[in-house]
């Protein structure tokens, strides 16, 4: 066990200490990044929208033509066991499936007799500290150099890693990925903008990973009568926005107050978290306490 990974972990049908979990160096996840993953938030030891997360896992497996090693009920049993064994009330459950370990390195799929590798573990779910949230964070824009199936939650994340590292090296929290003049998402988050009181979100396409938190925010907007526009967000619209948010299960709703070194928004409140973002954060907290923590 480490401060970030609880014992036991799950590996290919067994629950065992992390220190005893071993995977072949010939595993295709290691050699090629040939696999998928899913992250499920847990609140008060209750997995949030596990059905939706497992459906997204299956969709990604289908997208890369990889057989799911477990049934939906099988995955649920794994998740429950991991939650029970972890010391934290709020958790993040990580699931990963690779195409397994053949006896050689070959780009083509291995024989059907090679079983997938299934791995899962629990970590603490740590959200943004209040002092960071009240000030907002800085972000940069970078070219989106990923492949054309960004809707698949695959483990080959090198382009995202490099983009995020570029942001970190510039003292920023996130990199916004730009493709053909449009903002798609963050390196590890979805992005929303606010313009003239309207919440704007990029549409779900093959060039964006649809987040579960993204869905929750749109549901909360509809529930509270907040005007929404789902459409591609041009770079000029991003830079002229009144507010920009990054969202994920750990970031929740976090204001981006500086973009490429310039304050977001206009007027005396430029460079500060905006009112709609603060309102959405409160709606999200209410939803978390009344729904997420109830299972």
Q: Of 104, 153, 251, 262, which residue is the catalytic one?
A: 153
pLDDT reading at 274 higher than 70:
yes
- Model confidence at 268, pLDDT cuts 50, 70, 90, reads confident
Greatest pairwise CA separation for the chain in angstroms: 65
* pLDDT digit string, tens, across residues 17-55: 999 999 999 999 999 999 999 999 999 999 999 999 999
Instruction: Give the model's pLDDT for residue 295.
Output: 63
What is the pLDDT averaged over residues 133-142? 97
Measure the CA–CA gap between 139 and 133, rounded to whole angstroms: 14
pLDDT of residue 127: 93
> Do the Cβ atoms of 172 and 139 come closer than 8 Å?
yes
Cα–Cα distance measured from residue 152 to residue 209, given in angstroms and rounded to the nearest whole number: 7
* Digit-coded pLDDT (tens) for 105-118: 999 999 999 999 99
pLDDT at 210: 82
What is the pLDDT confidence band of residue 294, given thresholds at 50, 70 and 90? Answer: confident
* Averaged pLDDT for residues 163-176: 98
- Residue 95's DSSP bridge partners are 38, 120
Give domain limits for the chain.
9-124, 130-294
Q: What is the CATH superfamily name and number for domain 130-294?
A: D-amino Acid Aminotransferase, subunit A, domain 2 (3.20.10.10)
The strand pair at 137-143 and 174-179 is best described as parallel
Digit-coded pLDDT (tens) for 218-264: 999 999 999 999 999 999 999 999 999 999 999 999 999 999 999 99
Question: Class of the 9-124 domain?
Answer: alpha beta
Same fold, 9-124 and 130-294: no
Q: For residues 192 and 241, what is the distance between their CA atoms, to the nearest angstrom?
A: 10
104 is catalytic: no
**Residue 1 — pLDDT band, cuts 50, 70, 90?**
confident
- With a cut of 80, say whether residue 130 has pLDDT above it: yes
Contacts by residues 10-18 (CB-CB < 8 Å, ≥ 24 positions apart): 10/78, 10/81, 10/82, 10/118, 10/119, 10/120, 10/121, 11/117, 11/118, 11/119, 12/69, 12/115, 12/117, 12/118, 12/119, 13/118, 15/81, 15/85, 18/121
- pLDDT per residue as tens digits for the range 47-100: 999 999 999 999 999 999 999 999 999 999 999 999 999 999 999 999 999 999
Q: Which two three-digit tokens encode residue 229?
A: 């526009």
Percent of the chain whose predicted confidence (pLDDT) is above 70: 100
């Amino acid at each position: 066990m480490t401060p970030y990974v609880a014992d036991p972990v799950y590996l290919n049908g067994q629950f065992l200490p992390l220190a005893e979990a071993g995977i072949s160096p010939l595993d295709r996840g290691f050699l090629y990044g040939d696999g998928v993953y899913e992250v499920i938030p847990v609140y008060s030891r209750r997995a949030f929208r596990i059905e939706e997360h497992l459906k997204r896992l299956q969709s990604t497996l289908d997208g890369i033509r990889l057989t799911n090693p477990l049934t939906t009920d099988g995955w649920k049993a794994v998740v429950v066991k991991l939650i029970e064994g972890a010391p934290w009330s709020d958790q993040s459950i990580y699931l990963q499936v690779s195409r397994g370990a053949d006896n050689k390195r070959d780009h083509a799929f291995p024989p059907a007799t090679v079983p997938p590798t299934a791995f899962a573990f629990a970590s603490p779910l740590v959200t943004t500290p209040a002092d960071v949230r009240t000030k907002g964070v800085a972000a940069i824009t970078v070219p989106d150099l990923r492949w054309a199936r960004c809707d698949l939650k695959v483990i080959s994340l090198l382009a995202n890693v490099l983009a995020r590292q570029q942001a970190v090296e510039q003292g920023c929290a996130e990199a916004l990925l730009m493709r053909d003049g449009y903002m798609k998402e963050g390196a590890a988050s979805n992005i929303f903008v606010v313009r003239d009181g309207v919440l704007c979100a990029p549409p779900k396409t093959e060039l964006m990973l649809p987040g579960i938190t993204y869905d929750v925010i749109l549901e909360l907007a509809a529930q509270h009568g907040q005007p929404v526009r789902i459409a591609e967000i041009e770079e000029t619209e991003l830079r002229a926005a009144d507010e920009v948010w990054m969202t994920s299960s750990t970031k929740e709703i976090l204001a981006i107050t500086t973009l490429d070194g310039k304050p977001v928004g206009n007027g005396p409140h430029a460079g500060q978290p905006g009112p709609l973002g603060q309102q959405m954060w409160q709606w999200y907290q209410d939803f978390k306490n009344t729904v997420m923590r109830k299972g």
